[in-house]
Amino acid sequence: MSETTTTVRSIGDSTDTGASDVQQMSMQQALNRALDEVLAENPKTVIFGEDCGRLGGVFRITDGLQAKHGEERVFDTPLAESGILGMSVGLAMAGFHPIPEVQFDGFAYPAINQIVCQIARMNYRSRGTLPMPITLRVPSFGGIRAPEHHGESLEALFAHVPGLKVVSPSNPHDAYHLLKYAATRPDPVIFMEPKSRYWQKGPVDVAHAAHGQATHDAGVDDGGSLTGARVVRDGRHLTLVAWGAMVSRCLQVAELAAEDGIDVEVLDLRWLKPIDAEALARSVGKTRRAVVVHEAPLTSGLGAEVAQLITQSCFETLKAPVERITGFDVPYPSGDLEDEYIPNIDRILFGIQRVLEYRRG
């Protein structure tokens, strides 16, 4: 592995040091840099939300952007999510590319009417004359011990709505590239950021934003494409399918399973709408067993759709039914109960055991 720099240029530093383009960043830094570059590349891009301007957002994702790009392009809004998303519709109709932020995922509920009835439908309703190039950033999922409504898992709700695309990165490299990619799409994209991973650091290859090709000898692998899933760990006995924060947990599980001789493949779904059915078929077609892991409740969760796609393509070769390890069918709890709700290592390992020990009657 070649030596890489661990220096991350701050907003406003345009000096090229000549160092490697692979840099160690946290996900927060990667997202911040992506937004900075999108603002610089497209004068029609505007970023806004509660505390997104002067403060730089609760998680500092927009830190320094207002000072660099001005108050007309990065600005604060009132505490009114329906207004934020309604304004996004008007800006998109006027030719802008809005990147609004919903401060916490649970705060998206008051804006569901705007998301479902306007953002998702306007292009269809207008027969293509009014596209909605809106990238809605949603700090998502749990893991930070926040109060009620500050941790949710809404991917199934968004993915069910025709007209929306949904994506969730699991690491800094994907966060950087997928956000830049989403910000160039003519369609509305719900960008679900795993807030518990904002401070995770990893290598980010910033030299290949246009096409997403990574420098493998620099320790980065984005799977070669920004439009599908990617295998983050090869295996042969079973496939773990996850997205967002659960990818890191599944990688931990895979390492523990390896100590018992179980070779687990981990597939990071990344795109939750549309789902990369071909990647699912390739991975599970090889391992012949699958466990899907997500934080949302079990009933009607996105894992059910994933399980159906796997069954549809791999029915004749599956050695066991697809297992789902998920949150429970209760409201997403406040921080003091998160450890009981979010799928933990033991629950996932038991799921793997059930699948491996399954015998047809």
pLDDT of residue 103: 92
Domain boundary among 218, 239, 266: 218
Note whether 190 and 78 are same-domain residues.
Answer: yes
Residue 11 inside a domain? The answer is: no
252 contacts 266 by C-beta, under 8 angstroms: no
Three-class DSSP category at 290: strand
Q: What are the catalytic residues?
A: 150
Note whether 84 and 205 are same-domain residues.
Answer: yes
Q: How far apart are CA 7 and CA 278, in angstroms?
A: 37
Note whether 143 and 253 are same-domain residues.
Answer: no
Residue 7 inside a domain? The answer is: no
pLDDT of residue 356: 97
Note whether 183 and 243 are same-domain residues.
Answer: no
Note whether 62 and 172 are same-domain residues.
Answer: yes
pLDDT of residue 19: 42
pLDDT of residue 226: 87
User: The CATH number of the domain where 347 resides is what?
Assistant: 3.40.50.920
Three-class DSSP category at 48: strand
From the list 156, 295, 271, the residue with the least C-alpha distance to 212 is 271
User: The CATH number of the domain where 168 resides is what?
Assistant: 3.40.50.970
pLDDT of residue 208: 60
Note whether 202 and 60 are same-domain residues.
Answer: yes
* Model confidence, pTM: 0.89
pLDDT of residue 207: 80
CB atoms within 10 A of CB 281: 15
Residue 136 inside a domain? The answer is: yes
Note whether 97 and 194 are same-domain residues.
Answer: yes
Domain boundary among 218, 248, 270: 218
Note whether 40 and 97 are same-domain residues.
Answer: yes
Residue 9 inside a domain? The answer is: no
Note whether 36 and 156 are same-domain residues.
Answer: yes
Residue 44 belongs to what domain range?
23-218
Residue written as token pair 């809404």: 154
| pLDDT, one tens digit for every residue, the chain (361 residues) | 233 333 333 333 333 334 458 999 999 999 999 999 999 999 999 999 999 999 999 999 999 999 999 999 999 999 999 999 999 999 999 999 999 999 999 999 999 999 999 999 999 999 999 999 999 999 999 988 888 888 899 999 999 999 999 999 999 999 999 999 999 999 999 999 999 999 999 999 988 644 433 333 333 344 457 889 999 999 999 999 999 999 999 999 999 999 999 999 999 999 999 999 999 999 999 999 999 999 999 999 999 999 999 999 999 999 999 999 999 999 999 888 999 999 999 999 999 999 999 988 6
| Domains identified in the chain, total number | 2
Note whether 50 and 182 are same-domain residues.
Answer: yes
Note whether 88 and 112 are same-domain residues.
Answer: yes
Residue 3 inside a domain? The answer is: no
